[in-house]
Structure 1
């Protein structure tokens, strides 16, 4: 790995490969990926569809086990942890935002944000949820269910949920991919402002070249490899 890795780097991928089975035979999704994300650094991952961008996030977050190589999340070798151990490692420290929002449909906006905090043992989870929904401009939508919210509003709830615990690392997979242009810009503004406010590092997959330029560093992928 590079000599400029800091000891506190929240995410380090070292020669990571991912091969998945298919009816046509094994498919190489990631091919020897090296990546370091340092504290507070915002990294945009770009590249054509099928280049391995979302798989990189899945492996980095411990949602997918690599075929070979090493993934260190907050200094922990993920290969030494089982699924529960990886979940405990992420809890309160790493958060995820997806293109499809992934809100719980039977919970209000307030409950969607508060529930992970309650699981983490926060005593003031509901108050924190209300505060964060206010930060994303949804103070008037606390008791609305996801089906009562627009796509942009749902992604704002997802952002509030992800950042309310003030994680050290945010994984964002096409966070504006399901939004129209003006809404996408508004959500992106919020995301970058709030990530900076909490001091989190961010790994963001995007097809939007304008959004990517807002990151501190752009990583380009092609055919399962980092090419620049």
Structure 2
């Protein structure tokens, strides 16, 4: 019996992605091989259009690859339907994006607690308050997104992503919309909290300072890995 719990969080084997366009098919990813171990922090870098965000979309099961195999926690995503992929991600995979994606009609506390409640957590509000304290926003818990700065909104998004204690966090340009001071604060917080929870991190970034915090980097160019994965 294959022990999925012992499997690495993520393995991409010869993964390709071709998407249609008005000018004809466009190869976005070309034969990617990437492996992320438990608790490992990997930065994905490369020029704009090199396939960084597409790598996350395919790895998280949000986009089906055209070829190759994506294995998440030992399970081949191609063998799962959309519901199956959602079940596999639930509680084990979280995502943080450049845009904060907070629900505007919910307070910071509600934005963090709502996914926990949907997942059936009994202490969702208490967990949300604890995570807002960890990101330094206890006093802003009752504020709505429009009452928060960009840095504060991203810290709420980070608290929401990590409150479920996922085994794998995908972060796509998480500091891209922030000024230098807020970007540094959010980056330090993210790496501290990932280390604390033991989550693996796949971080897409063009920020060399942020990439340097990772254990390892995967550099993409034209949809291919050009530095060892």
**Where has structure 1 moved over 3 Å in runs of 4 or more?**
none
What are the within-5 Å matches in structure 2 for residues 182-201 of structure 1? 182-201=181-200
The separation in 2 between residues aligned to 1:81 and 1:145, in whole angstroms, is 37
Shift of 1:68: 0.6
What are the within-5 Å matches in structure 2 for residues 1-228 of structure 1? 7-228=6-227
Q: Mind listing any 5+ residue stretches in structure 1 that lack a counterpart?
A: 1-5
Shift of 1:84: 1.4
Q: Structure 1 pair 14/7, CA: closer, same or farther in 2 (3 Å)?
A: farther
Q: Deviations over 1:94-153 (max 9, x none)?
A: 000000011111111000000111111100000000000000000001111111110000
The separation in 1 between residues aligned to 2:88 and 2:107, in whole angstroms, is 27
Shift of 1:7: 4.7
Q: Deviations over 1:67-95 (max 9, x none)?
A: 01000011111001111111111110000
The separation in 2 between residues aligned to 1:88 and 1:108, in whole angstroms, is 27
The separation in 2 between residues aligned to 1:76 and 1:115, in whole angstroms, is 28
The count of residues paired between Structure 1 and Structure 2 equals 223
The separation in 2 between residues aligned to 1:108 and 1:86, in whole angstroms, is 29
Q: Mind listing any 5+ residue stretches in structure 2 that lack a counterpart?
A: none
The separation in 1 between residues aligned to 2:27 and 2:6, in whole angstroms, is 30
**TM-score normalised by L of structure 2:** 0.96
RMSD: 0.9
**TM-score normalised by L of structure 1:** 0.97
